[in-house]
Structure 1
Amino acid sequence: MNPRIDLFRRLALQLPGAVESAHMGHPDFRLNKRIFATLSAQEKGYGVLKLTPEQQQAFITEQPQSFSPVQGGWGRMGMTFIHLEHADEALIAGALSTAYHNLQKKQSENKSNKKSHTMARPGKSPRTRLQ
């Protein structure tokens, strides 16, 4: 097995609550059932990170040899290849942490929104508001 892939896996699983699962036959890493990183391109020596488009651009600008956008629409939404042979442990850990914290923040905001919506109508089931 590729030691860089093993490093990516080990670092992803060190994040609190992170678990390894699979999507379409490829390993992925999740927090509360939501994916923040995958090894869908491990045969090329790449990991894949779920970043924001702004974060993706920043990583590519800072380390163009280590990061590139996934092709097509997924890449435009922030899905990013990390070229593991060009990334040291600290860079891999930092990129994984960024993807993980994006998801953690989103999940925390979703929980907060659900609580405030439920609290607005005590004793009744929440309704979907029309915009």
Structure 2
Amino acid sequence: MVNIDTFKQLALSFPGVEAQPHFEKTSYRVKKKIFATHAPDSHIVCVKLSEIDQSVFCAFDKTIIYPVDNKWGKQGWTLVDLKKIRKEMLKDLLATAYNCVGSKK
């Protein structure tokens, strides 16, 4: 289990990341592009992955990591249950999301 403060600390640990409001959520951005979001008082966070990375992470356990259930999910947006994920897996997931968004031109 990972608490929201740990999630925030991990998301902000990458170079150039800023936390900014995004509707009712907090977004974590690199180069003005969102790679993760979370809503207040929720244990579910959302990260942006490539389709391939999404399928790899979701294959681990679909009760922990799973695509958003709409067109956003088909674009790589993926939900993560902080109550079930291990910290090391979350670190890998956030690094992958950061690199996916941060490496785009």
Shift of 1:55: 1.1
Unaligned runs of 5+ in 2: none
Q: Which has the higher contact order (CA 8 A, sep 6+)?
A: 2
Unaligned runs of 5+ in 1: 111-131
Q: Where does 1:1-131 land on structure 2 (aligned, <5 Å)?
A: 4-40=3-39, 42-106=40-104, 110=105
Deviations 1:3-35 (A, max 9, x none): 611111110000111111111121010012111
User: Contact (CA 8 Å) 2:33, 2:102: kept in 1 or not?
Assistant: no
Q: CA RMSD in A?
A: 1.4
Larger Rg: 1
The runs of 4+ residues in structure 1 deviating greater than 3 Å are none
Partner SS state of residue 86, structure 1? coil
Looking at secondary structure, tell me which structure has more strand per residue.
2
Looking at secondary structure, tell me which structure has more helix per residue.
1
Using the alignment, how far apart are the partners of 2:55 and 2:94 within structure 1? 15
* TM-score of the two chains, using structure 1 as the length reference: 0.74
Using the alignment, how far apart are the partners of 1:30 and 1:43 within structure 2? 20
* TM-score of the two chains, using structure 2 as the length reference: 0.91
